Structure 1
Amino acid sequence: MTDVEWAEVRSAMPVPAWLLNRGGCPEAHCHREMLLPVPVPVPVPVPVPFAGPPTDPHP
Structure 2
Amino acid sequence: MLASTDPALARITEDLIDILIARGVIQFTDFPAEAQAKLLQRRQTRAALSRRLQLLDDGDSGLI
Which structure would you say has the larger Rg?
Answer: 1
TM class by shorter chain equals: under 0.3
Task: Using CA pairs under 8 Å that are at least 6 residues apart, name the structure with larger relative contact order, 1 or 2.
Answer: 1
What TM-score does the superposition give when structure 2 sets the normalisation length?
Answer: 0.25
What TM-score does the superposition give when structure 1 sets the normalisation length?
Answer: 0.26
